[in-house]
A = this chain, B = another copy of it.
């Protein structure tokens, strides 16, 4: 199970400063304050990091590994909103609302997570305008991302949605055309809003048509332009 520890790549918020653009607006004393209100936990693949509905007391930053952020919808179905990578601040949604988690987060592989106390974070927002502005910027970007996702989910057919999913994974998550997928087929389905069987079918189709090469979880995008075309035509 998850246990406390100090990882090698996250000893101090003063270092994280370099990796997380938002934190670079904070002063040294502010970073020290933040550092005193944080701790780390390791998670194994599959373990739940945040559970939807529980009370939100901390923000989350992964320092190693990947995780999926999803909402629990109707009949136990999951909708994966996005994949969390290291050095991304997660959990803002609850900061100024009802202090509840409105989504769950589960580790996709072995991860290390840094938890920052919510009030320490709020304090920084109140004290540092630049930081607050960075925070707002972050929120609004996510809002725009949400719009695109809604269009994809509600107006595109399966081919377009799978194309969108692959473009997202390749462009935003792995930043490569050739990568080892951490998502199961079910996860791909939950990311693109369809049944597992349908996701498998479309992926196989793309494979057969030479758009991608998919062997187990080894994924290579062969024709990115074609994916973009499919994404646009829906």
Cα separation A158 to B228 with both chains bound (whole Å): 29
Cα separation A232 to B74 with both chains bound (whole Å): 7
- Which listed residue, B95, B141, B147, touches A136 by the CB 8 Å rule? B95
Decide: A136 and B137 in contact? CB cutoff 8 A.
Answer: no
Number of A residues, CB within 8 Å of B: 43
Q: Does A94 contact B (CB under 8 A)?
A: yes
Decide: B81 and A150 in contact? CB cutoff 8 A.
Answer: yes
Q: Nearest B residue to A151 by beta-carbon distance?
A: B73
Decide: A141 and B97 in contact? CB cutoff 8 A.
Answer: yes
Decide: A71 and B139 in contact? CB cutoff 8 A.
Answer: no
Cα separation A227 to B221 with both chains bound (whole Å): 44
Residues of B within 8 A of A223 (CB): none
Cα separation A202 to B77 with both chains bound (whole Å): 24
Residues of B within 8 A of A155 (CB): 73-75, 77, 79, 193
Decide: A71 and B150 in contact? CB cutoff 8 A.
Answer: yes
Cα separation A193 to B161 with both chains bound (whole Å): 15
Decide: B234 and A74 in contact? CB cutoff 8 A.
Answer: yes
How many copies of this chain does one complex carry? 2
Q: Does A21 contact B (CB under 8 A)?
A: no
Q: Does A115 contact B (CB under 8 A)?
A: no
Q: Does A132 contact B (CB under 8 A)?
A: yes
Q: Does A14 contact B (CB under 8 A)?
A: no
Decide: B147 and A102 in contact? CB cutoff 8 A.
Answer: yes
Decide: A144 and B79 in contact? CB cutoff 8 A.
Answer: no
Residues in A lying within 8 Å of B, measured CB to CB: 71, 73-75, 77, 79, 81, 92-97, 102-103, 125-126, 129, 132-133, 135-137, 139-144, 146-147, 149-151, 153-156, 160, 193, 232-234
| 22 A–B pairs (Cβ distance < 8 Å), ordered by A | A71-B147, A73-B151, A73-B154, A74-B156, A74-B160, A75-B155, A77-B155, A79-B154, A79-B155, A92-B143, A93-B147, A97-B137, A97-B141, A125-B136, A129-B132, A132-B136, A139-B140, A142-B143, A146-B150, A149-B150, A153-B153, A154-B154
